Amino acid sequence: MANEWATFGADLHLDLGGTGGTGGTGGTGGTGGQGLRHGLMDALREAVRSGRLAAGTRLPSSRQLAADLGVARNTVADAYAELVAEGWLTARQGSGTRVAPRSAARRPERSRTAAPAASRTAPGAPAHNLRPGTPDLSTFPRADWLKAARKALTTAPNEAFGYGDPRGRIELRTALAEYLARARGVHARPERIVVCSGFVHGLMMMARVLRDRAVREVAVESYGLDVHWKLLAREGLRMPALPFDERGTRAEELAAMSGVGAVLMTPAHQFPMGGALHPDRRAAAVDWARATGGLILEDDYDGEFRYDRQPVGALQGLDPERVVYLGTASKSLAPGLRLAWMVLPEHLVAEVTAAKGEVDWTSSATDQLTFAEFLGSGAYDRHVRAMRLRYRRRRDQLVAAVAAASPGTRVSGIAAGLHAVLELPEGTEAATVGSAAFQGLAVVGINRFRHPDTPVTKDALVVGYATPTDSAWAGALQALCRVLP
């Protein structure tokens, strides 16, 4: 039993204040035992008083704690008994020794009418959220994800819990290669896929690789996310903006940008305008990349969700050696999973892998294994189909409600994705966003996404209809209709 402390019971760290020594394994302790008992009692009181031991915490048995501390069992039993008598601990047959509930006098006062902390709304938080960029998090497929996790963990090899290949788990890269080829028309092989913790993480790695390749300019679309532009700027890259018209980003303008070495685009569903890049423009972008040796960074952020058209395949399928494809589970499942992927040209794999690091430190191996099982079992396809129907119903409800409340408001960008663009009369965007905020509605104007070098061409709201839960959707839609001109 000499090593019992290492294998039996719960750990409990206590500082006995330098009382040191041992009371043996069975005696009553004597004078040394008294000092140990008092030191133990003081340490336990302090742990409870400071909150390190919370009310209800079950303590180790006297036998276990005595073995851990190297003192006589009677020393621990006596200390427990006195602390029970003082009210610090409770002891019940079959329930063990626990930290007693704190007295009401020790608790902070709270109004009887105050809502529990978890249910209160943060000061200034909107009552309704129609910002774009987030799915309905209440629909995360918990049961199917848990089922996939159980199977993945049961069958995972022992080495899966080590540091791992920096490109990510081979199981996930294999499953992604099959899925992306089937669903998005991507030419992918597992050895050319790198798993990352989000689109921004992938873009960060690509920015470093481009900088190391002496690229100094990355063209971007006239409308997009400033977080992406700021990331590129931090890496010392300049970002000229490509013009935009009714057929999408004018990719043919790349030919006149002599200093550009890469372009960042959302060809399947332009964010935030909402349209698909015209086939002529897709071809122009690929022709530029081939002629100059440039790279296209393709952000396929919500390619799974289309409603009134055939799916637009990934641009990467036109030239896998000139396009870096970036995808993510943030819109289809949840951003909190921190799962995304890059499909790379062969000549970039080693450089991107080096930029990521020597080990895969960004995405949990267990989450990668779970997602691989989720993909391979067909659960991901079933979830995407169900969400596609759900979001299409919301889109239709949005279009109908806007038509009834504001017949002059044009709704565009609705053939795919999780957001719509509601065009406003010239000069009314800021006032409409402010009025919405006053009424507790969070919504974003399209000029929030305009590149600094792009002139104002329209006023509009970008409405994310996926974000609210079912119970909040009707109220959010009503609030939106109230603020439309």
**Domain spans of the chain, in order of start:** 4-104, 128-137+385-483, 140-381
Residue linked to tokens 């119903």: 393
Contact 356, 275 (CB under 8 A): no
Which residue type, as a one-letter code, is found at position 419? H
Q: What is the mean pLDDT of residues 220-248?
A: 95
* pLDDT confidence bin for 28, thresholds 50/70/90: very low
Cis? peptide before 101, omega within 30° of 0: no
Q: How far apart are CA 479 and CA 394, in angstroms?
A: 15
- CATH classification for the domain delimited by 140-381, as one of 3.40.190.10, 3.40.640.10, 3.90.110.10, 3.40.50.300: 3.40.640.10
Rounded to an integer, the average pLDDT of 453-468 is 95
pLDDT exceeding 70 applies to what percent of the chain?
A: 89
Residue 260 is predicted with a pLDDT of 97
- Stretch among 52-66, 155-169, 264-278, 293-307 having the lowest mean pLDDT: 52-66
Looking at the predicted structure, is the pLDDT value of residue 309 above 60?
yes
Lowest-confidence segment of 110-119, 123-132, 168-177 by average pLDDT: 110-119
CB atoms within 10 A of CB 408: 11
pLDDT band at 124 (very low <50, low <70, confident <90, very high): low
Residue 110: pLDDT over 70: no
Question: Does residue 149 have a pLDDT over 70?
Answer: yes
Confidence check: pLDDT of 5 > 60: no
d(CA 322, CA 138): 38
What pLDDT, on the 0 to 100 scale, is given for residue 311? 76
80 vs 287, higher pLDDT: 287
| pLDDT, tens digit (0-9, with 9 covering 90-100), for 400-443 | 999 999 999 999 999 999 999 999 999 999 999 999 998 899 99
What's the chain's average pLDDT?
88
Judge whether 394 and 465 are in contact, CB under 8 Å: yes
CA–CA distance, 331 with 342 (Å, rounded to integer): 16
- In this structure, what token pair is assigned to residue 193? 């896929």
Q: What is the mean pLDDT of residues 361-369?
A: 90
Question: At a CB cut-off of 8 Å and minimum separation 6, what does 189 contact?
Answer: 177
Q: What are phi and psi of 221, to 5 degrees?
A: -80, 160
The confidence score (pLDDT) of residue 33 equals: 66
Residue 456: pLDDT over 50: yes
State yes or no: pLDDT of 193 exceeds 70.
yes
Instruction: State the CATH class of domain 4-104.
Output: mainly alpha
Average pLDDT in the 184-191 region?
95
Can you tell me the mean pLDDT for 145-160?
A: 96
Q: Both tokens of residue 27?
A: 């005696």
Task: State the pLDDT confidence band at 362, using cuts at 50, 70 and 90.
Answer: confident
**Does residue 123 register a pLDDT over 80?**
no
Which is higher by pLDDT, 297 or 122? 297
User: What is the structure's pLDDT at 202?
Assistant: 96
CATH class, 128-137+385-483 region: alpha beta
Pairing of strands 340-343, 193-196: antiparallel
